[in-house]
């Protein structure tokens, strides 16, 4: 199944690996295009990280793009397929590739009717989704969408990964119209650009941009912590967007802990450590910049603070989570936590937009899609 001959320009954003920066690439891409295109559309055909919106599972990136860029399309069309943890098992028991393809194509067609150009965000590398017959390359083929490949790192490994992914897309008849290098150390941009440009020229691939690494984008907010742990929010609902710069595991005396309680730190401690909890809260209450000394507290072990301690906590805006897992498990979850930009993180979004306006070659891109 394929769509009819393309009439609305479209760009498929894929990557060599998961977490290479497709979402930030789409934020940046839409930023550089909105000065040239009146109505920008967005679709994430296959999403693996969804939220509930009016009873529908919608990929979080679709919600992000709608909120940031005011896309006119229905969210259900911007996110046709949301993959839950049992999706693959259900599909393998009763595979129906035509139904999935029809859903993707129909939703894209509706998005296209309200758009002058559509950005299509893939999921991971070229093969992700193949187990249920909707790998990235197949989706790009269905939507007849020329593709940008996003890669991270230096020169050798990114180029090798680009070559592998390019082979899969080309097997499906999908042209690669450019490469975007992401998360490059600022001091190495000139070097990486020079050598990767040579390598890509030999392969006949345009280099559309070399984007510097922005460590701030990798730092979570307390809202990320709340989503990752799925605990109970006991306090500070209006401060969940506090940035987190450091994570401190409360396994020391309060006196020693004071040396670790720096700006925007997240304190993880068992719920019965009243001494550490009160130390953190007292520090926040007595410091001039109290809102940003303690980014938040995570109370572990399924133990909630005593009533008297909770009353002190509620005199502050510090967000506090109580969760059932022990401290080790919580620390492991936070270590592995994926930090994705949220609609409320306006400073991060503006940083991405300004970075792409400076480092992305939109004119070269438009040569290939218009």
pLDDT digits (tens, 9 = 90+) for 163-205: 999 999 999 999 999 999 999 999 999 999 999 999 999 999 9
Q: Are residues 230 and 248 in the same domain?
A: yes
Task: Indicate whether 52 and 148 sit together in one domain.
Answer: yes
pLDDT tens per residue across span 160-173: 999 999 999 999 99
Indicate whether 174 belongs to any domain: yes
- Do 52 and 141 fall within a single domain? yes
CA distances from 17 to 152, 160, 161 (A): 9, 12, 8
- Strands 320-322 and 294-300, sheet pairing: parallel
Q: Which structure tokens are listed for 170?
A: 């080309």
Task: Tell me the whole-structure pTM to 2 decimals.
Answer: 0.84
Claim to verify: residue 112 and residue 257 sit in the same structural domain: no
Instruction: Note whether 152 and 229 are same-domain residues.
Output: no
**Where are the extended beta strands (E) located within 153-216?**
176-184, 207-212
pLDDT (0 to 100) of residue 4 = 44
Q: Look up the CATH number of the domain holding residue 354.
A: 3.40.50.300
Q: What pLDDT was estimated at residue 263?
A: 83
**47 belongs to a structural domain:** yes
Same domain, 108 and 204: yes
Number of domains in the chain: 2
Identify whether 1 is part of a domain: no
Instruction: Print burial letters for 16-54: b (CB count within 10 Å at least 16), e (below 16).
Output: bbeebbbbbbbbbbbbbbeeebeebbbbbbbbbebeeee
Whether 2 is in a domain gets the answer no
Output the CA torsion 91→42→57→74 (10° steps). -120
CATH number at residue 331: 3.40.1390.20
302 in the same domain as 241: yes
Of residues 292 and 20, more confidently modeled: 20
**CA gap 306, 309 in Å, rounded:** 5
- Indicate the pLDDT class of residue 124, thresholds 50, 70 and 90: confident
What is the distance between the alpha carbons of residues 33 and 68, in angstroms, rounded to a whole number?
A: 14
Gap between the Cα atoms of 25 and 138, Å rounded:
21
302 and 364 in a single domain? The answer is no
- Residue ranges making up the domain that contains 264: 222-336
Taking only the tens place, the pLDDT of each residue in 64-86 is 999 999 998 999 999 999 998 89
> Which two structure tokens, joined as six digits, stand for 331?
């620390």
99 plus 151 within the same structural domain: yes
């Amino acid at each position: 199944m394929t769509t009819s001959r393309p009439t609305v320009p479209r760009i498929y954003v894929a990557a060599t690996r998961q977490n290479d920066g497709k979402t930030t690439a789409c934020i940046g891409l839409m930023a550089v295009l909105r000065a040239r295109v009146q109505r920008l559309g967005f679709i994430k055909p296959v999403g693996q990280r969804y939220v509930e919106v009016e009873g529908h599972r919608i990929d979080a990136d679709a919600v992000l793009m709608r909120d940031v860029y005011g896309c006119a399309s229905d969210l259900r069309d911007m996110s046709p397929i949301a993959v839950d943890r049992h999706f693959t098992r259900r599909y393998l028991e009763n595979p129906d590739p035509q139904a999935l393809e029809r859903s993707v194509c129909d939703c894209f067609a509706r998005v296209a009717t309200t758009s002058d150009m559509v950005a299509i965000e893939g999921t991971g590398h070229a093969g992700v989704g193949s187990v249920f017959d909707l790998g990235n390359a197949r989706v790009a083929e269905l939507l007849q969408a020329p593709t940008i490949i996003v890669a991270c790192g230096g020169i050798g490994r990114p180029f090798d990964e680009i070559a592998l992914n390019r082979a899969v897309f080309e097997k499906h008849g999908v042209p690669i119209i450019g490469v975007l290098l992401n998360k490059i150390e600022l001091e190495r941009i000139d070097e990486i650009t020079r050598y990767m440009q040579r390598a890509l020229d030999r392969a006949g691939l345009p280099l559309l941009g070399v984007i510097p690494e922005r460590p701030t984008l990798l730092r979570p907010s307390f809202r990320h912590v709340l989503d990752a742990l799925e605990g109970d929010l006991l306090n500070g609902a209006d401060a969940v967007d506090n940035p987190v710069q450091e994570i401190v595991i409360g396994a020391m005396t309060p006196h020693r802990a004071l040396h670790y309680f720096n700006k925007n730190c997240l304190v993880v401690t068992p719920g019965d450590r009243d001494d550490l909890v009160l130390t953190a809260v007292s520090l926040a209450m007595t410091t001039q910049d109290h809102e940003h000394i303690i980014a938040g507290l995570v109370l572990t072990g399924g133990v909630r603070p005593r009533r008297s301690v909770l009353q002190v906590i509620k005199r502050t805006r510090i967000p506090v989570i109580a969760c059932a897992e022990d401290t080790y498990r919580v620390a492991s979850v936070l270590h592995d936590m994926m930090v994705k930009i949220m609609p409320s993180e306006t400073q991060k979004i503006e940083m991405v937009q300004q970075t792409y306006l400076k480092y992305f070659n939109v004119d070269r891109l438009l040569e290939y899609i218009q």
